[in-house]
């Protein structure tokens, strides 16, 4: 009964999260519970905490693997570093940055919301203006999504760092890397990010259940004086158990720990840079298909193109929700809905996580058939052809098979 919506063959999962889990990760999690106070679990955790830093490209950061979701990871980032009333500059560019800002406000911070049209990136000119004016350093933190999942927009974090440096501004940089880390080029140390976070069900390609938060030394320092009320999300409890070598202030999921071990092993085997290149390939191929279909990318400029999710704008006579519904009902294809301001106007193709070229091409041919079904005059094969032309030139041999 639990599978009452079963359709033959594989489900083609192309939402921007949760994403496809590699078989070795599913296998690694296919296991019993264990006593997390035995010597085995701390030993496993210790190495995980060391290895997980690589996905943030940090050596100086301190990671926290929290049994929560991205929303909880946001809360962890904010409450551990800031006090009620603190001023944050935050960029509203789509549904997920909006939700984060809502959280910031409900947690009692004083948020300067810098809004862009959905489909555009964070307005860094406004940031610059604010930094220039803020000689008193009343801005305590910049909160920014690296990649806005709702619109497929990637913000330029290097520029954020440059501006802060230019104005010698000490504000903390808090980055939502939920749909970027492990897929896009993210450089915590180089860009001076103070808190970066992601969720296990995104590019790390695991089930939902872990919020992974990484804190710079400056963020850790800030946590000592931050007055926000927190217990479950309090880094202090984690740090106390890190020191004791038992690592867990409360019960972790044994299955997810072994799953993360397997996921990091696969990442190591493929190589993070190769993973990023693969996402670049899949993102580029998707955009070429969209162009071939004669449709518009929600993302307005190339500088913001996202290699993890593409929001496709549909003609006004089509409800994008119908596309998503129909794809699932007829072709066992899961696409992302348009959310809030772009509801009905865009559908989203998630191309992050454990995916390869032929999976994407199968998805793109499915999208073509769905577009035809809903009345858009697409030329069947056009998007696939454009994508394949590019992929055929750019896809490397699988290293382990050469």
Within residues 250-279, the interface with a copy of itself by CB under 8 A covers 250-256, 258, 261-262, 266, 269-270, 275, 278
Residue pointed to by tokens 């409900």: 106
Within residues 86-125, the interface with a copy of itself by CB under 8 A covers 102-103, 106-108
Residues in contact with a copy of itself, shown as a per-residue x/- string from 151 to 190 under the rule CB under 8 A: ----------------------------------------
Residue pointed to by tokens 């793109």: 364
SS3 for 114-146 is EECCECECCCHHHHHHHHHHCCCCCEEEEEEEC
DSSP 195-263: EEEEETTTTT---S--EEEEE-HHHHHHHTT-----STT-HHHHHHHHHHT---SS---HHHHHHHHHH
Buried residues in 178-217 as b, exposed as e (16+ CB within 10 A): bbbbbbbbbebeebbbbbbbbbbbbbbbbbebbbbbbbbe
Q: Return the half-sphere exposure (C-beta side, CA atoms, 13 A cut-off) of residue 175.
A: 28
Residues in contact with a copy of itself, shown as a per-residue x/- string from 33 to 72 under the rule CB under 8 A: xxxxxxxx--xx----------------------xxxxxx
Q: Does 388 bind a copy of itself (CB under 8 A)?
A: yes
Token readout for 226 is 């931050």
Bridge partners, residue 173, by sequence:
142
Q: Which stretch binds a copy of itself (CB under 8 A): 117-125, 128-136, 183-191, 353-361?
A: 353-361
Cβ proximity of 31 and 249 under 8 Å: no
Residues in contact with a copy of itself, shown as a per-residue x/- string from 285 to 324 under the rule CB under 8 A: ----------------------------------------
Among 224, 273, 377, 402, the residue binding a copy of itself under the rule CB under 8 A is 402
Q: Does 13 bind a copy of itself (CB under 8 A)?
A: yes
Among 183, 263, 346, 384, the residue binding a copy of itself under the rule CB under 8 A is 384
Among 171, 346, 357, 374, the residue binding a copy of itself under the rule CB under 8 A is 357
The reply to whether 281 sits in an annotated binding site is no
Q: Which stretch binds a copy of itself (CB under 8 A): 49-57, 127-135, 311-319, 333-341?
A: 333-341
Annotated binding site for substrate: 348
């Amino acid at each position: 009964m639990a599978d009452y919506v079963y359709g033959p063959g594989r489900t083609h999962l192309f939402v921007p999260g949760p994403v496809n889990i590699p078989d070795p990760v599913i296998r690694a999690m296919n296991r019993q519970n264990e006593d997390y106070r035995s010597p085995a679990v701390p030993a496993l955790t210790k190495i995980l905490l060391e290895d997980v830093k690589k996905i943030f490209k940090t050596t100086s950061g301190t990671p926290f693997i929290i049994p929560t979701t991205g929303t909880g990871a946001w809360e962890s980032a904010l409450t551990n570093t800031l006090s009620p009333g603190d001023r944050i500059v935050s960029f509203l560019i789509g549904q997920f940055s909006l939700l984060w800002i809502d959280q910031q406000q409900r947690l009692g911070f004083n948020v300067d919301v810098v809004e862009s049209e959905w489909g555009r990136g964070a307005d860094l000119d406004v940031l610059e203006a604010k930094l220039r004016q803020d000689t008193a350093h009343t801005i305590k933190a910049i909160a920014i999504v690296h990649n806005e999942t709702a619109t497929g927009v990637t913000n330029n974090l290097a520029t954020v760092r440059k501006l802060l440096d230019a104005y010698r501004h000490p504000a903390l940089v808090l980055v939502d890397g939920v749909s970027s880390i492990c897929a896009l080029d993210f450089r915590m140390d180089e860009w001076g990010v103070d808190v970066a976070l992601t969720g296990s069900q995104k590019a790390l390609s695991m089930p939902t259940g872990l919020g992974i938060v990484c804190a710079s030394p400056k963020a850790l320092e800030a946590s000592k004086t931050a007055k926000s009320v927190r217990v479950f999300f309090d880094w202090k409890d984690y740090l106390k158990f890190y020191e004791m070598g038992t690592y867990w202030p409360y019960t972790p999921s044994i299955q997810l720990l072994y799953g993360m071990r397997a996921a990091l092993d696969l990442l190591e085997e493929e190589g993070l840079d190769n993973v990023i290149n693969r996402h670049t390939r899949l993102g580029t191929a998707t955009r070429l298909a969209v162009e071939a279909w004669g449709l518009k990318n929600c993302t307005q400029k190339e500088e913001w193109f996202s290699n993890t999710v593409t929001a496709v704008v549909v003609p006004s006579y089509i409800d994008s929700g119908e596309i998503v519904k129909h794809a699932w009902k007829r072709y066992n294809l899961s696409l992302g809905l348009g959310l809030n301001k772009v509801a009905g106007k865009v559908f989203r193709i998630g191309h992050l996580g454990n995916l390869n070229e032929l999976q994407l091409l199968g998805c793109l041919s499915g999208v073509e058939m769905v577009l035809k079904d809903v009345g858009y005059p697409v030329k069947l094969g056009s998007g696939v052809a454009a994508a394949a032309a590019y992929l055929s030139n750019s896809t490397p041999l699988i290293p382990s098979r050469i």
